[in-house]
Amino acid sequence: MTPTAIMQRRYSTKAFDPARKISAADWQELENVMRLSASSVNSQPWHFLVLESDDAKQRFARAGTDDKYAFNSPKITDASHVVLFCTRSTLDDDYLNHLLDTEASDGRFKKDDEFSAMMDGARRLFIDLHRHDLKDLQHWMDKQVYLNYGSLLYAASSLNIDAVPLEGIDPVALDAEFGLREKGFNALGAGSLGYRAADDFNAELPKSRLPADEIFTRL
């Protein structure tokens, strides 16, 4: 499929077929995409809680949607897989040094060479800008996780897998249910993936987007 065809195929799935499951090979592809997704200064401030078992998805629904977001519960329990996107609660020195060590071990540079120091300095420059000057570090980290969201949705469609991003969840309750804050993470949003049900009304509706001449300015 062309990139345009992939985007035309993608839509927000409103009902999943609980009998259909994503293959292990396809799911590995999607995990690879999430791991390889872009982030500002390679900060990678994310963690993914992957729910595959019925028990795990029921647990998510009971804590995260069954109350005021009950309309989203079937999108959790009927999906093949659910990803809870989490943001790190901090970018401390230990984590930044871990990133630098990982980049060195992956061959991007030699540890403690000039380029290593430049990379570390540039990353800390932007992080400290958001931490101290703009005072929006958590919001900035959340933005990086949303980049990952987009990568996953595009990749899923390329594999003929259906998906829906979900902000209608209770992140505070999910933090508590899965002990996320104690692990240094905060729930941000979810993505449900699988295959559309035959009665999903949204599957047959035409896609609606603003016209190109309204949203592009070409200079």
The Cα 63–Cα 69 span in angstroms is 10
pLDDT at 112 over 90: no
Q: Is 167 a catalytic residue?
A: yes
Count how many residues are written for the chain: 219
Check 75, 177, 182, 214 and give the catalytic one.
75
The model's pLDDT over 5-45, given as tens digits with 9 standing for 90+, comes to 999 999 999 999 999 999 999 999 999 999 999 999 999 99
Distances in Å between the Cα of 158 and the Cα atoms of 58, 60, 145 are 28, 27, 20
The pair phi, psi for residue 200, each rounded to 5°, is -75, 105
Vertex 100: Cα angle to 99 and 106 (nearest 5) = 90
Predicted pLDDT of residue 109: 87
Q: Where are the domains of the chain?
A: 3-194
Predicted pLDDT of residue 81: 98
Distances in Å between the Cα of 207 and the Cα atoms of 90, 211, 216 are 39, 12, 19
Check 14, 103, 182, 183 and give the catalytic one.
14
Q: Is 14 a catalytic residue?
A: yes
Q: Which CATH architecture has domain 3-194?
A: 3-Layer(aba) Sandwich (3.40)
The model's pLDDT over 160-214, given as tens digits with 9 standing for 90+, comes to 999 999 999 999 999 999 999 999 999 999 999 999 999 999 999 999 999 999 9
Predicted pLDDT of residue 85: 98
Q: Is 143 a catalytic residue?
A: no
In this prediction the pTM is 0.95
Q: Closest by alpha carbon to 168, among 95, 78, 60?
A: 60
The Cα 130–Cα 98 span in angstroms is 20
The model's pLDDT over 62-91, given as tens digits with 9 standing for 90+, comes to 999 999 999 999 999 999 999 999 999 999
Dihedral over Cα of 146, 150, 151, 153: its sign: positive
Check 68, 111, 135, 167 and give the catalytic one.
167
